[in-house]
Every structure is written in C-alpha cells, then in structure tokens.
Structure 1
C-alpha cells in the first residue's frame, strides 16, 4: 500500500459526505461513513497524514484523562479496536503496551491517588503502585520516585499507518480521496451548507465534516461560525536504537495537569516510551505560539533533562533526531464533535488536542451514526459545536 495512491482531481462531483482533512480523525470519519454505506469524498489541502498525525506518538490513553465526557469517549474509542477494527490492527501496529504515571513528590502522589480513584469509578483499570514496586515494571526507572499507577489498557498505534490504512479501507468501500484540494469556501442553499469549494473543484454533499485539525477554526470561519481551535506546539526527541530498556509509556503526574491547562506559555512534563525499533521517544512540551516552526533548543534541553531525571540511564544515550507538531487545542479542553446548528449541513470533528489518535475511531463512528439519524452510542451533547457561541 502506498499513501500516494489517491484519486486525482476530476472536476466537480457529488457525494453523501465530504470530509475535510486526511489525518487520523478525518480518515476515521471517512472509513466509518463509508462502512455505513455513505458515498464519501475526502479533500485534503496537502498530502494525506501531513499535519498533526504525522508528528505525534500514536498514543491511545485512558490514563491521562479525568472522569468525564472525554474519558468516556476514550474508552468507547479504544473498545472499537477490539470489535469493529480488530481484524485490521496489525496494519497500524496496534499494541496494548500499558502506561505508567509516576509521582516524584508526596503532593504529586496524593494527587495521583485521587485521580486513579475517580478513574476506577469510571471503569478504568488503574492499579496504584508504591515506590518499591515501580522497578518491577520499569527496572531502569529512578529510585527516587514516591509512587505510580499502572494502566494496562493504554495502547499505541503507528499514527501514519493508522490514517493511511483507514483511507485505503475507505477507498475499498468506494470513497474518493483528493489531495492538494484546499477548501476555500462552502456551497450554500440559504443558511444550509451543501458542499465545499476547493482550489481544484467543487463537491456537493448533504453533510460536510470539518476534520481539519489545527485549521478547523479557519474552516469554520469560512462557514461563518466561531470555532476556537488553536495550534499548540510540541516537540518530541528520538534517541538512537537501544536494547529493550523502557517497557511502557511512562510519564510524570504533571503531564495530566499540563494537558488540562489553559496556559498559553511553555509547559514541559516527562513522557518516555520505547518502540519496537529500539528508539526511545521523549516528550513533552506544550505552548501556544501560532504555527511557528522554529526549533527551540532550550525547550528540547528541558525535555531531555526531565527524561534523564526519570530514567538516569538516558544521560549517556544520544538523541538521533527531533520533530515538532501542532495539536488542535480547544479552549475548554473538550473535543468538538457533531452537527453545527449555526450552519446546517456542517459537522465538526476537531479539538482533540493531543488525544486525536486515541479518540479518532470513536469520533468517526459516532459521527456516522449521527449523520444517518441513528441513536449514537455516546451522547454528543458535551461536545456540541454551538457551545462556543456564547
């Protein structure tokens, strides 16, 4: 399979659903819509998987979410990899590797214990670990930590393979995918959205899904609606290949707080995980700097120092490369999923920030159900787009 195998521009056309964006979320929307028997047309401004999904770690986590709607969406989405998507999991290297959150202070340990209590009440498997048990799970971890929590349900996929294969599967169900098709406007019938106008042609459709990631706010603006989705920059370091050293995704308890923070300034917290190839991925940072792609050595140095504090053996390991990406940040930290009554015919699937890979499958299936007028497996009310109208 080659991601470049996409349908070339063929002029104006008609579909049941147009999906704007060919990242993980847009690809999941396309796949589930096609699987539900809808005629699907995907338009992507660049190449497929060329945005956030190409610059992330592929995490599918329950552990970094507090009790509430996003956690319910995460559990639902994860479950689809054991049902609807199970036969395809090898394609995107699905691995239920488990995650470990750790606390370096007594205050952090108390906060982590409170979090796991709420998560267990919401049906998440979270196992509290005293300090003397952490090395049973991660032999190279710092002995100076106070406590931890083990989440056996946390998983990982290769995000670019996930999106590319979902698009391929959607194409097998009749979907059309066009790259280099930047959306420059909407087709309208009065207030109703009836399709998209791109730089290479128009596509008419009863439903248009805005899955444009960090550009979703700009797409919404073309339809005359407010959607405060902003880019939040993050860096990841990649080490030289090592023997199996780090077995799980491991992060400090500050990571959860940083994910939920609305602060636009720089925040860093430790996230470390090994890969099958032997490299170790090290993050994470968050800052709202627009689409500034300047490489910040001080930020990467801070990330590296915190990783060494968690795994001292990394001090002698070389960093092979680094990359950066932009997460689609939502002002209230909840994704935006569902129909937009301010522009009937327009649907949104965005604002997942760093959880888009893990939430993509659930988002795609729920939108397909909603577009078809079926009862949705989860209530979409907490994610409604019009909440930003006030």
Structure 2
C-alpha cells in the first residue's frame, strides 16, 4: 500500500515532520540517500535554545519547540519504551557572557528585549556567573542566565522520532536517493522518483537540509537554501561539573544573524552527558567543501581556553564539521509550495534545527491536516522573496 506522504530526509527535521504526520493518522515513508541522521543532524551539538534569538518569528517557533520537546519525548517513552526513546534530554540552562566592557551594554539590551516578550533572561554579576560556572574566566564583564535553554543528543532524538513512525506502520528507507517527483494530469505531485523506481504518494516533504535547494530544483520548484559550514571540537572526558551548562560569548548572537559568507568564529563551550566538552562555533559559506581547516580549529580552541582557562592542555578527541541549511533571511522554510500542489518544504533552519524541530514538525502537520497551528506560519512561507528570489539576496 502506498504511503500518504513521503518525507525526503531522515535528519531531525524530517524525522520530526514524519513523527507529527504519523501522529495525525497519516501513513508516512521516510527516504534518505545515506543513513538516518547522518548529515547535518550528526554534526549538531543538540542545542534547544531561546537565548540566541531576538524577538520575532524564529523566537516564537523556538519557544513552541522548547515547550513541546520534553512532552513529546515523554510521550514517546510511554509509547515505545525507554530503550527506543532515549534522547538524553537535559534542561540545564544556558549562560551568555560578555568579556569586554563594550559588549556588556549590548548583551543587557538584548536580554531586556527578550524579557519584554516573556523569555526568562536573568542578568547576573560576574561574581554570580562564577558561582554558576566556577571554571569560567574571571574576565567576565556581564552575564545573562537563560534557565529555559536545554540540550539533547541529536542522533538519538532523530532515531526516537523515526522509531515512532515505524511503530505506527510507517517505513524508513536509508540508502534510497530521491531524484525528483512525478505529477498527475492535474499537475499535482503523484510520487517520488528514486533509483528503485517511483514511490506513489499524495504529497512529499522536502526536508533535505542544506541539499533542499537541489531537491527543490529537481522537483521543478527551486528555492534558495545554501550550505553554511561549521566546525566543532570534542575534548576527552572531563570531571563532572567542569562545564555545567551551555556557555557562550555574547558575540555568538551576532554571528548567527550575520549574512556574511566569510569565516566567523564565536566562543561556545558545552558539556555532554558522556563528560566530553563540545567547542564551537564557526560559520562560513564555502559550498560543500569538506576540507578540514586547521586554522579554524586552532581559533576555536584559542577562544575556548580564553573563556574556560581550565581547558588549556585538555586533549582534543576529535573534530568534525557539517553543513547547515541557510536561508538568506535567516528564517526556516516551512509549508506548502504554491507553485506545485503536493510539494511541502521543511528546511532552512541553519544551526537551530535541533531546537526548532519539534515545533517545525507540529506546524507542518497542522498545516497539512488543516488544524489550527500554534505558531503563525506566515513568516515561514515558501513564496517569500528571500527564498524564491534569494540568489540576489544571498
């Protein structure tokens, strides 16, 4: 029996869409040209953040996702059992710090704007920040604590979501590349072309991450979603409590919002349940160039040691990079494509996909089924100029 809908992409965004659609009673098949969660999701840190988003549509999507993630994971544990539904959810909070006098006032202003729309953003003295993070540099000039920030293990989250899809009668096919779509006599999507033949369906969701632009073009409805590369360092295991939460320098917010194609680095330090510490972050638009640049890794390490001097001399276990799906106006693309009935998109989340996934899946499923969405879908529509005509803005 053919599925109702095919989701192309088995990363966390595709998995969240597939889970939400299957929870709505639809039969879903997920396709991925490689393996489950093997692309952008595997290269993520697992951030579920509100701290790095200015008031506006993305912050509203982030708030909805932050509310949804713990409830969704708890429900899936009940449905699937703890073995299949473990995503290492940690509601540990985040700490944003300024390390220069010039950065202190902008950080306070940003936090005040967030508080005005209901975000918990508690300004701290440097002494109070040191109590939260004893190994933090004493060069802090200002700090803001975000108790709502959280973390999960992104690959485990994606596999949990896909396990639910399978349990509800859906299918997940790894190693199956989607080559485009077929259309019926009325011009609607009627199937997905793969190397194994055409898979009939009523609709297809383009959740291909940084490759979403390529798939959309093959489907005949191009969108502008570009790869933006990032690198991460992973230390060896450290004693518990060395780094207690996600900590980043205030310049990280500016790097996230920047449209600059050139290399940008900002200091992000975060512990994991395994005891390792993740060090980021970098951003640059270099296409799909996978070259490991030692100068970028050296800069990340230097900045991390400046923020947490205790990291000096700590061995680096590995380094890895990944490509994030970047839309020129820095907003995700979520919803139906008006140019091709039956084609839907869920992409463009850049480095926030892990955190935004739960709400993205729910929003897309609500739009598909005609339910009233929790989040206003208008800012994420496909036919906005930056996405349809984005090459000029990129």
TM over 0.5: yes
Secondary structure of 1:316's aligned partner = coil
2:160 counterpart of 1:135: no
Tell me by how many angstroms 1:240 deviates: 1.3
Q: Which residue of 2 aligns with 1:69?
A: 57
Unaligned ranges ≥5, structure 1:
1-12
1:165 pairs with 2:160: yes
Of residues 39, 60, 65 in structure 1, which corresponds to 2:48? 60
Quote the Cα distance in structure 2 between the aligned partners of 1:282 and 1:16.
Answer: 42
Q: Are the counterparts in 2 of residues 207 and 371 from structure 1 also a CA contact under 8 Å?
A: no
Aligned counterpart for 1:228 among listed residues 224, 227, 230: 224
How far off its partner does 1:389 sit? 3.0
Counterpart for residue 215 of structure 1: 211
Structure-1 separation of matches of 2:294 and 2:368: 46
Whether the 8 Å contact between 2:224 and 2:388 is mirrored in structure 1 is no
Q: Using the TM superposition, give the Cα deviation of residue 123 of structure 1 relative to its aligned residue in structure 2, in angstroms.
A: 1.6
Query: 5 Å matches for 1:229-378?
Result: 229-244=225-240, 245-378=242-375
Instruction: Determine the C-alpha separation between the residues in 1 that align with 2:180 and 2:311.
Output: 49
- Pairing partner for 1:180 from 150, 168, 175: 175
Q: Distance in 2 between matches of 1:312 and 1:85?
A: 36
Question: Quick one: distance in 1 between partners of 2:130 and 2:388?
Answer: 49
The separation in 2 between residues aligned to 1:380 and 1:203, in whole angstroms, is: 29
Give the TM-score of the pair, scaled to structure 1. 0.95
> Match of 1:6?
none
Q: How far does residue 257 in structure 1 lie from its aligned partner after superposition?
A: 0.3
**In the alignment, structure 1 residue 40 sits paired with structure 2 residue 37:** no
Q: SS in structure 2 opposite 1:250?
A: strand
Distance 1:84 1:99 in 2: 22
| Structure 1 residue 311, shift from structure 2 partner | 0.7
Asked whether the equivalents of residues 246 and 269 of structure 2 are also in contact (C-alpha less than 8 Å), the reply is yes
User: What is the CA distance between 1:145 and its match in structure 2?
Assistant: 1.3
Separation in 1 of the partners of 2:118 and 2:206? 31
Q: 1:226: Cα distance to partner?
A: 2.6
Preserved CA contact (<8 Å) 1:80 1:86: no
Please report how far the alpha carbon of residue 336 of structure 1 lies from its aligned counterpart in structure 2 after TM superposition. 0.2
Match of 1:10 in 2: none
Residue 202 of structure 1 is matched in structure 2 by: 198
Cα deviation 1:138-177 (Å, max 9, x = unaligned): 0011111101100011111110000011101110011111
**Post-superposition shift, 1:98?**
0.5
Give 3-state SS (helix, strand or coil) of 1:322's partner.
Answer: strand
Matching residue of 1:100: 95
Question: Which is worse superposed, 46-55 or 195-204?
Answer: 195-204
CA separation in 1, counterparts of 2:100 and 2:76? 42
Structure 2 unpaired stretches of 5+? 78-84, 390-394
Q: What's the secondary structure of 2:71's corresponding residue?
A: coil
Give the Cα–Cα distance (whole angstroms) in 2 for the partners of residues 88 and 14 of structure 1: 25
Q: Alignment partner for residue 145 of structure 1, among 126, 133, 140?
A: 140
Identify the range of structure 1 (13-22 vs 351-360) with the bigger mean alpha-carbon deviation.
Answer: 13-22
- Deviation for aligned residue 1:81: 2.3
**Alignment length, in residue pairs?**
378
> Which position in structure 2 is the counterpart of 1:26?
14
Residues 229 and 389 (structure 1), Cα distance of their counterparts in 2 relative to 1, 3 Å cut: closer
In the alignment, the residues of structure 2 paired with residue 367 and residue 207 of structure 1 have an alpha-carbon distance, to the nearest angstrom, of 12
- Between the aligned partners of 2:182 and 2:220, the Cα distance in structure 1 is 12
- Residue aligned with 2:281, SS: strand
SS, match of residue 30 in structure 2: strand
Higher deviation after alignment, 250-259 or 221-230: 221-230
1:192 to 185, 188, 197: 188
Q: TM-score w.r.t. structure 2 length?
A: 0.94
Moved more, 104-113 or 161-170: 104-113
Shift of 1:51: 0.4
What is the distance in 1 between the residues matched to 2:349 and 2:111? 22
d(CA) in 1 for partners of 2:75, 2:179: 38
- How far is the alpha carbon of 1:201 from its aligned partner? 2.2
CA deviation vs aligned residue, 1:331-362 (integer Å, no higher than 9, x gap): 11000000110111111000000000011111
Distance in 2, Cα, partners of 1:362 & 1:136: 33
Runs of 4+ with deviation above 4 angstroms: none
Could you tell me whether the CA contact under 8 Å between 2:179 and 2:195 is conserved in 1?
Answer: yes
